[in-house]
Structure 1
Amino acid sequence: MDGDIGDLIRQVNAKVPGAQDALFAAAYSELRKLAQARLRDGGRNTVLDTTALVHESYLRFIKGGQLQSEQRRAFFAYASQAMRSVIIDAVRERQADRRGGGVTVLTLNTTLGESLYQGEEEVLRVHEALDALAQAEPRLAKVVEMRYFAGYSEAEIAGALQLTERTVRRDWEKARLLLGAMLSA
């Protein structure tokens, strides 16, 4: 299957008609597993389900055009980034709707509503902290994306980024400390 996806990515980059659909079909089951992990972990309560997340990510993939790498891991890392952006956009849209969005304001006398949206705010805070980390330390941000959002092991990250596993472990620890400091500030 690795060779098939690599071949399909080359065909997508060569703009072969139907290659994007074939790549999506070949990777669909793994993309669903990745989406399921993204929606399950970390309290990401959004209006998206697994299928919607995969399909929204596919639409962004089609608009994105050419892929930068022909490797399977790079494709799934790209898919993970697309899923992350879909989740972030859904959370932002939902928060915008909640803060007005043309709806008549109704004041409630309960704190139940506040607890429902804390998970969404946390997702946005993590996203903003990760963007700040990417500005300062791009490699650390890539390690976080691959480990946290794509679910890769240290060995897989090391292979994809051409680093040693020890370097990946150090980068992960450093990134966790920096993100923790950013989120606690």
Structure 2
Amino acid sequence: MPEITKLMQAVQAGDQSSAEELLPHVYDELRKLAASYLAREPAGNSRHATSLVHDAYLRLVLHCRDEWKNEGHFFGAAAIAIRRILVEHARRKQSLKRGGNAIRHEFHEQMTVSFSDPAEDLIALDDALEKFTTVNPQAAELVQLVYFSGLTLRQAAEILEISPRTADRHWAYAKAWLGREIRGSRDFSENC
């Protein structure tokens, strides 16, 4: 059994020293995941790959260790943790941008809202993906592995233990469903 698998099993059993030993073995891969996420973010993002990796790793070992069946699932869980951290960051940023705790006043002129801000796009995608998880959990997991982890469809299919053909069908369905959901939320927001 590979050393990483042994360490993961020990972490899942609650061994804190194994959690410390596991990090150097998975750090480079987690850093690549974080860097691929941050490459999609707008310039000037205050998050750095190193802090993102550390935050995600802490979430993984403290809260998500029951979800690891193998290395693929570990990195899938890492992709989800990184996505959630970035979405939380985008939501906080949007909240501050929109006035945070300031008192809101009614604005009577009709306003149009667009998703030109990448943080809004990320939030819209996250909201749509959360809804999609209830519709088709396996396809939603495939989207997370491909889009957020940077895996190929074939690699994601192996992790999910489905055929490449099924992965292709799930991917096509997910793209159509998520696209419709995101466009629908934009249309709704623009009409408000």
- Write out aligned runs for 1:139-178 (5 A): 139-178=138-177
119-128 or 94-103, which moves further after superposition? 94-103
Note the 1:11-160 alignment, pairs <5 A: 11-41=10-40, 43=42, 46-64=45-63, 66-102=65-101, 118-160=117-159
How far the C-alpha of 1:42 sits from its partner, in A, is: 6.1
Q: RMSD over aligned Cα, in angstroms?
A: 2.5
Unaligned runs of 5+ in 2: 105-112, 185-192
Runs of 4+ in structure 1 off by over 3 angstroms are: 42-46, 102-105, 114-117
Matched, 1:10 2:6: no
Residue 183 (structure 1) aligns with:
182
Q: SS of 1:18's equivalent?
A: helix
CA contact (8 A) 1:35 1:83 kept: yes
What TM-score results when the alignment is normalised by the length of structure 2?
0.83
| Paired residues of 1:45 and 1:120 also in contact (CA < 8 A) | no
Normalising to structure 1: TM-score of the pair?
0.86
Q: Please, which runs of 5 or more residues in structure 1 have no aligned partner?
A: 106-113
Q: Which amino acid aligns with 1:170?
A: R
Q: CA deviation at 1:151?
A: 1.1
Contact kept, 8 Å, 1:46 with 1:91, in 2: the verdict is no
Identity rate, percent: 28
Which one is further off, 143-152 or 58-67?
58-67
Q: Distance in 1 between matches of 2:103 and 2:13?
A: 50
Indicate how the Cα distance of structure 1 residues 128 and 181 shifts in structure 2: closer, same or farther if over 3 A, else same.
Answer: same
Cα distance per residue 1:92-126 (max 9 Å; x no partner): 11111122235799xxxxxxxx9997111111000
Partners of 1:125 and 1:62 lie apart in 2 by: 28
SS in structure 2 at match of 1:101: coil
In structure 2, relative to structure 1, the CA distance for the partners of 1:125 and 1:44 (3 Å cut) is farther
Determine the C-alpha separation between the residues in 2 that align with 1:44 and 1:123. Answer: 15
Displacement of 1:45: 6.5
Shift of 1:82: 0.4
Count of matched residue pairs? 176
What is the distance in 1 between the residues matched to 2:44 and 2:175? Answer: 23
Shift of 1:44: 8.3
Superposed displacement of residue 41, structure 1: 2.7
Cα pair 1:144 1:172 within 8 Å, conserved: yes
Deviates more, 1:116-125 or 1:142-151: 116-125
Aligned partner letter, 2:128: A
Letter in structure 2 aligned against 1:98: K
CA distance in 1, matches of 2:165, 2:91: 37
Change (3 A) 1:65 1:160: closer
Contact persistence 2:68–2:77 (CA under 8 A) = no
